[in-house]
Structure 1
Amino acid sequence: MKPCASIFIKLFTIQCLFVLCFSQDFDFFYFVQQWPGAYCDTSHSCCYPKSGKPAADFGIHGLWPNYKDGSYPSNCNPDSAFDKSQISDLVSRMQKDWPTLSCPTNDGMKFWSHEWVKHGTCAESEELDQHEYFEAALKLKQKANLLQILTNAGIKPDDEFYDLDSIVEAIQEGTGFTPGIECNVDHSRDSQLYQIYMCVDTSASEFIECPLLPRGRCASRVQFPKF
């Protein structure tokens, strides 16, 4: 075999391996929204972003590719770095609907960069670039106004306790799909409504019934804390 041909084959093999490693298929997305009152009412620190205190509303945590067996791909393409210039037209909406509460106070870019590098790069196999990935999550939040759905069912962020089944039923009726509920525990050891998982098809455009619901460690009655 000629040396040039040998080099070409090796380069082709490396390229194929790269594609296999970093263009992973997945089965569905988890679209996760977080209640800020529960995030802040725990042992870890909570800081408002530089844009100011977020509205008392569910904020996006992430749009995460997942497999039906419960595992998930992550950090799929180390060469696809977060580029804030690609989402410049989305920043004001992201500050409102995808705020950061981590400390120290920041502008959200570190949070969004983490979400893209860990999760968003695994959605590139579905031809979602950075702008499309973040915009898809913002559109999904508009489709599922969880606070309005819960408020319409008489479930409000007023520090009161509500049946977990009632929360699930309200969201199921409001969206047409069964949610996954994740709870945390406050200083008084009370179970609080923390995160709500909805499942989305691989195009990141339509809600679907979850192939697998996360285990949320919730009590039968959970507190909906104020924010």
Structure 2
Amino acid sequence: MKALFLLSLSLLAVVSSAKDFDFFYFVQQWPGSYCDTKRSCCYPVTGKPDPIFTIHGLWPNYNDGTYPSNCDRQNDFDVREIEDLEKTMQNYWPTLACPSSNGLKFWGHEWDKHGTCAESQLDQHSYFLSALNLYKKANILKALQDAGIDPDDRYYSVESIKQAIKRGVGFTPGLECNKDESGNQQISEVYLCVDTSGQEFIECPTFPRISCRKEIQFPSF
């Protein structure tokens, strides 16, 4: 009986710890790079997004580089929780996947896969609101343009891009690159790290294993 009780406690600890995490990745994507690939893109039903970096997601992560996912399959995305945020999300968190849509599938995926792993800190509304508030604090495009780095199809060094973002935002970013149809490597996503409250940027404990050449293209959109 004692052994069974201890086993139950052990299982409870495993379930609980599965939802713990060490920090968030706050990820923004450049729509020009997303669309300039073989898969192309589809604009949302609200029309072509503005030529700005947009939100991809707010992702719980562990310091060792791994991450939790789909932590609570009983807590499905509910659009009623974010009705007051929907208009803002259409502007700054649009979907570019095909076929064209209103973004609900994209946002639902982000909550189900990533948000449920942070629900001990943030409920659905707070999760999306936190991402929007972080977006206001980290104007990636302005930081780059202030350094003379524009989405003009030219090539820029990865180091100059990182330094420009660090000067503008205050923290070292991670970069992800993709390739266009001609095989040119482009800036695709920018990773910044956030504390477990989802409120404040921090220096990243680790970055994803991302391969970018020394010089990458910043495509127009």
TM category (shorter chain) comes to over 0.9
The alignment status of 1:87 with 2:89, answered yes or no, reads no
2:199 equivalent to 1:205? yes
Query: What residue is the counterpart of 2:104 in the other structure?
Result: 109
CA contact (8 A) 1:159 1:226 kept: yes
2:40 maps to 1:29: no
Residue 167 of structure 1 is aligned with which of 155, 161, 166?
A: 161
Q: Could you say what secondary structure the match of 1:199 adopts? A: strand
Q: 8 Å contact 1:46–1:102 — kept in the other structure? A: yes
Q: How many residues align?
A: 216
Alignment RMSD, CA only? 1.8
Structure 2 Cα separation of the partners of residues 179 and 105 of structure 1: 30
**Unpaired stretches in structure 1, ≥5 consecutive residues:** 1-5
Contact 2:18 2:68 in 1 (8 A): no
Instruction: Find the structure with the greater CA-based Rg.
Output: 1
Counterparts of 1:49 and 1:21 in 2: how far apart (Å)?
38
Report the Cα offset of residue 176 of structure 1. 1.2
Assess if the C-alpha contact under 8 Å between 1:184 and 1:191 holds in 2: yes
Question: Normalised by the size of structure 2, how large is the TM-score?
Answer: 0.93
Q: Return the alpha-carbon distance in structure 1 between the equivalents of residues 177 and 160 of structure 2.
A: 15
Q: 1:95 to 1:211 in 2, by over 3 A?
A: same
Counterpart residue identity of residue 193, structure 2: C
Distance in 2 between the 1:179 and 1:84 partners?
Answer: 31
Per the alignment, in what secondary structure is the counterpart of residue 71 of structure 2?
A: coil
SS, match of residue 26 in structure 1: coil
User: Runs (4+) of structure 1 moved beyond 3 Å?
Assistant: 16-19
Which residue pairs with 2:212 in the alignment? 218
| Long gaps (5+) in structure 2 | none
Name the residue aligned to 1:38: 33
**Aligned mate of 1:68, from 39, 54, 63:** 63
Contact 1:22 1:77 in 2 (8 A): no
Q: 1:182 aligns with which of 166, 176, 184?
A: 176
1:93 Cα deviation from its structure 2 partner = 0.4
Identity %: 59
Report deviation, 1:73. Answer: 0.3
Letter in 2 for 1:124: E
